[in-house]
């Protein structure tokens, strides 16, 4: 085991993701004993007093402050997780990077491609490392899927179809949190889930897919008013019987995609899809085979390879020790990993980036790619036409 040095960790926004990032740092050396950095939990910034208390008492942060400025004024912070609502991302992300701290930022990294690009510029100008929360690419089955595509096992790619369907806002009394207000969130399901979908498609498809070159999109808002939120609450919080306010962004969005390789694709996303809980899934088809993965069965990759293309049958392959980072979590096939594990993998990639000075895993540049495609979907819908990207 190599000697590790300490790195001062801070988090801005200590809700669901702020806590998941912290748990990832805490577990990093359990899964990767040779990791060259060990976290020192320095400070959390969150306007909510309860969250600050939780950071100190349950997670062992030395300090919990109200604003990011107080946090960045410290000289013992080396890396900052930006996990506040989307409107916080740009101002804080730029400030973190320009202060010379490494940046771990949640998707969508701002409310628009303009925000994301500004954060990326700060990262590049300062030469710091970055990681972005595109966690689904970290699943070992997804890593194996990417390898199969890159090795040409599916033949020439014909289609990539991604579904990012959730029911977290399906109840009409779901609280009107920051997620429904363009001022605080930017887009709705587009930034929240379609951004993940683009990253997943492009990661699995890799160079063979050649990026998205054109798309045509549609979107809709079905639940137009919701009860006002009270206090902090998750995606899933219910509002009360009090006043209701308008929903300002889309519940559902979908697109037809054209890729540089000539392959075609679809992307469907919804936050109001009754019956769908985290249906985050991808199917890739080529002239010689197909593969299919669904986050809800994270350790399974469905494959249709090496057969006569007529009447070919699917088989289910459980992830194996050589797939992605499975071996850091489980000793063999068939033992499940969970959502939080994907964040440990993400943290490991960030540490690799910091230690080597070279990008590893999803970075702010991947967030720019996804944000530009989300912007393209908005433009296509607004203008009612195909747009090139």
Ligand X SMILES: NC(=O)c1ccc[n+]([C@@H]2O[C@H](COP(=O)([O-])OP(=O)(O)OC[C@H]3O[C@@H](n4cnc5c(N)ncnc54)[C@H](O)[C@@H]3O)[C@@H](O)[C@H]2O)c1
Interface contacts to ligand X, rule CB under 6 A: 12-17, 45-48, 51, 68, 83-86, 88, 106-107, 133, 135, 192, 232, 234-235
Taking the least distance from each CB to ligand X, the nearer of 135 and 353 is: 135
Taking the least distance from each CB to ligand X, the nearer of 45 and 120 is: 45
Taking the least distance from each CB to ligand X, the nearer of 68 and 290 is: 68
Taking the least distance from each CB to ligand X, the nearer of 12 and 28 is: 12
Name the minimum Å distance from CB 96 to ligand X: 12
Nearest-angstrom CA–CA distance, 104 and 91: 14
Name the minimum Å distance from CB 136 to ligand X: 8
Nearest-angstrom CA–CA distance, 333 and 251: 37
Taking the least distance from each CB to ligand X, the nearer of 16 and 222 is: 16
Name the minimum Å distance from CB 12 to ligand X: 5
Name the minimum Å distance from CB 287 to ligand X: 33
The token pair that represents 133 in the structure block: 């929360």
Name the minimum Å distance from CB 62 to ligand X: 18
Contact assessment for residue 120 and residue 132, using Cβ atoms and an 8 Å cutoff = no
Three-state DSSP class for residue 154: coil
Label residue 338 exposed, middle or buried (CB < 10 Å: 0-12, 13-18, 19+).
Answer: exposed
Taking the least distance from each CB to ligand X, the nearer of 21 and 285 is: 21
Taking the least distance from each CB to ligand X, the nearer of 178 and 386 is: 178
Name the minimum Å distance from CB 218 to ligand X: 22
Name the minimum Å distance from CB 231 to ligand X: 9
Contact assessment for residue 152 and residue 184, using Cβ atoms and an 8 Å cutoff = no
Name the minimum Å distance from CB 212 to ligand X: 21
CB atoms within 10 A of CB 275: 8
The token pair that represents 151 in the structure block: 């090795």
Which H or E run includes 267?
A: strand 264-270
Contact assessment for residue 72 and residue 93, using Cβ atoms and an 8 Å cutoff = no
Name the minimum Å distance from CB 152 to ligand X: 31
Please choose, from the candidates 75, 120, 83, the residue with its C-alpha nearest in 3D space to the C-alpha of residue 101: 75
The token pair that represents 229 in the structure block: 């939120």
The token pair that represents 279 in the structure block: 């249906």
Taking the least distance from each CB to ligand X, the nearer of 8 and 84 is: 84
**Distances, alpha carbon 349 to alpha carbons 26, 41, 73, 145, in Å:** 15, 19, 27, 19
Three-state DSSP class for residue 367: helix
CB atoms within 10 A of CB 234: 10
Label residue 334 exposed, middle or buried (CB < 10 Å: 0-12, 13-18, 19+).
Answer: exposed
Taking the least distance from each CB to ligand X, the nearer of 48 and 147 is: 48
Contact assessment for residue 338 and residue 108, using Cβ atoms and an 8 Å cutoff = no
**Position with the least CB separation from ligand X:** 15
């Amino acid at each position: 085991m190599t000697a590790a040095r300490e790195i001062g960790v801070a988090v801005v926004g200590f809700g669901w993701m702020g806590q998941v990032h912290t748990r990832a740092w805490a577990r990093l050396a359990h899964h990767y004993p040779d990791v060259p950095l060990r976290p020192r939990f320095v400070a959390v910034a969150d306007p909510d007093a309860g969250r600050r208390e939780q950071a100190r008492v349950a997670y062992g942060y030395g300090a919990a402050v109200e604003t990011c400025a107080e946090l960045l004024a410290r000289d013992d912070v080396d890396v900052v997780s930006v996990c506040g609502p989307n409107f916080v991302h740009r101002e804080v992300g730029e400030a973190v990077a320009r202060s010379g701290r490494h940046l771990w930022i949640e998707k969508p990294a701002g409310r628009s491609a303009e925000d994301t690009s500004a954060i990326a510029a700060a990262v590049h100008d300062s030469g710091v490392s970055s990681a972005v929360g595109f966690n689904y690419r970290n699943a070992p089955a997804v890593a194996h899927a990417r390898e199969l595509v890159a090795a040409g096992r599916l033949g020439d790619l014909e289609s990539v179809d991604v579904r990012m369907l959730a029911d977290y806002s399906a109840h009409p009394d779901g609280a009107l949190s920051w997620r429904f207000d363009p001022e605080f969130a930017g887009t709705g399901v587009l930034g929240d889930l379609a951004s993940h979908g683009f990253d997943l498609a492009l990661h699995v498809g890799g160079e063979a897919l050649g990026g998205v070159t054109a798309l045509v999109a549609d979107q809709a808002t079905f639940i137009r008013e919701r009860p006002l939120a009270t206090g902090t609450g998750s995606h899933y919080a219910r509002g009360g019987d009090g006043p209701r306010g308008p929903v300002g962004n889309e519940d559902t969005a979908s697109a037809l995609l054209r890729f540089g390789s000539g392959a075609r694709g679809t992307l469907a996303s919804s936050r109001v899809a009754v019956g769908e809980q985290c249906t985050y899934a991808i199917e890739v088809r080529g002239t010689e085979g197909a593969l299919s993965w669904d986050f809800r069965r994270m350790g399974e990759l469905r494959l249709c390879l090496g057969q006569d293309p007529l009447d070919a049958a699917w088989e289910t392959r459980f992830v194996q020790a050589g797939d992605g980072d499975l071996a850091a979590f489980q000793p063999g096939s068939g033992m499940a990993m969970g959502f939080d594990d994907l964040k440990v993998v993400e943290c490991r990639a960030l540490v690799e980036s910091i230690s080597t000075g070279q990008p590893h895993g999803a970075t702010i540049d991947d967030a720019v790619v996804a944000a530009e495609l989300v912007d393209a979907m908005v433009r296509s819908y607004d203008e009612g036409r195909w747009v090139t990207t």
